[in-house]
């Protein structure tokens, strides 16, 4: 959330109490937050050292911001492994491309390693709920498409989207993947995983209206029944909209 000066800080919102609270206070821009699986930690990036580096802080707001990883490139956290030991993040490379990098979150000496490093842009990487697959989007074809690749490998990738796609999400049971087409349609793809192999079943459009002009503008509940999306209406604050019981709308 940006204040009157344009400075971006991270805020949290207590849904039950309807209360928002400021989470970061540094004069630099803080954004791209990611919750840990147990809800105790928030990972984010910040420009306070000149580049968007990776930080973390207790989600209850206690303690100080801990610098996790810094270098001379922009970095965006995207996913935590199911066991909480690994962090996936996107690195902005020269020429406008981006790669996916893995960062261990335990141990005394933390070193990163590339997971997806190609001449193209890979982004939005997400661990599957069992940790055996990574979902991501790539522009290696004429337009961005969503893929799944085995982790830590070996094995080839599987294309999930049909008409282009970005910002993919898993359902908690790994049986469905959600992504956004270029025109803002939210799509759902059936995923079949058996004996270490992945296949794609039917793909259907759920609804339109996902904002595609900036960053991550939607999220989905673990069971796939609720969606939190950015409203692209006339309001300059772009409020978040919670869509419930969306399956009923499909039958109309």
**pLDDT reported for residue 137:** 96
Where are the domains positioned within the chain? 1-127, 130-252
**pLDDT reported for residue 111:** 83
**pLDDT reported for residue 114:** 93
Q: What is the CATH topology of the domain spanning 1-127?
A: Neuraminidase (2.120.10)
Could you tell me which residue, 232 or 35, shows the higher pLDDT? 35
pTM for this model (two decimals): 0.86
* Topology agreement, domain 1-127 and domain 130-252: no
Residue 95: phi, psi to the nearest 5? 90, 0
pLDDT in tens, 162-209: 889 999 999 999 999 999 998 899 999 999 999 889 999 999 999 999
For 225, other C-beta atoms within 10 Å of its C-beta total 13
Q: How many residues does the chain have?
A: 252
Residue 74 in contact with residue 92, Cβ under 8 Å? yes
**pLDDT reported for residue 69:** 94
3-state helix, strand, coil in the chain (%, to 5): 5, 45, 50
Q: Does the pLDDT at position 246 exceed 60?
A: no
pLDDT in tens, 115-142: 999 999 999 999 999 999 999 999 998 8
- In DSSP terms, 69 is beta-bridged to 54
Distance CA 167, CA 74 (A): 18
**pLDDT reported for residue 238:** 44
Average pLDDT in the chain: 88
Our measurement of the distance from residue 59's CA atom to the centroid of its chain's CA atoms, rounded to an integer in Å, reads: 18
- The tokens for 113 are 């390693």
Distance CA 169, CA 217 (A): 12
The percent of residues above 70 in pLDDT, for the chain, comes to 89
When the candidates are 3.90.1640.10, 2.130.10.10, 1.10.260.30, 3.90.650.10, the CATH number that belongs to 130-252 is 2.130.10.10
């Amino acid at each position: 959330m940006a204040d009157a000066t344009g400075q971006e800080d991270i805020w949290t919102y207590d849904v039950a109490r309807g209360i928002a609270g400021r989470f970061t206070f540094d004069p630099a821009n803080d954004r791209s937050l990611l919750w840990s699986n147990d809800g105790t930690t928030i990972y984010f990036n910040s420009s306070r050292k000149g580049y968007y580096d990776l930080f973390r802080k207790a989600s209850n707001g206690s303690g100080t911001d801990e610098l996790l990883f810094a270098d001379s490139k922009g970095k965006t956290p995207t996913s935590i492994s199911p066991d909480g030991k690994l962090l996936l993040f996107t690195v902005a490379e020269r020429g406008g491309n981006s790669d996916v990098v893995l960062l261990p979150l335990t141990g005394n000496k933390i070193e990163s390693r590339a997971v997806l490093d190609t001449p193209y842009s890979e982004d939005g990487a997400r661990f599957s709920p069992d940790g055996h697959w990574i979902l991501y989007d790539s522009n290696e074809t004429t337009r961005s498409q969503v893929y799944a690749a085995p982790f830590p490998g070996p094995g080839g990738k599987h294309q999930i989207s049909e008409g282009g796609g970005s910002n993919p999400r898993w359902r908690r049971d790994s049986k469905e993947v959600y992504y956004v087409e270029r025109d803002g349609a939210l799509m759902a793809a059936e995923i079949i995983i058996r004996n270490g192999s992945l296949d794609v079943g039917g793909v259907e459009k759920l609804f339109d209206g996902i904002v595609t002009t900036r960053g991550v503008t939607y999220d989905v509940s673990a069971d796939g029944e609720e969606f939190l999306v950015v409203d692209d209406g006339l309001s300059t604050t772009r409020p978040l909209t919670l869509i419930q019981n969306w399956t009923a709308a499909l039958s109309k």
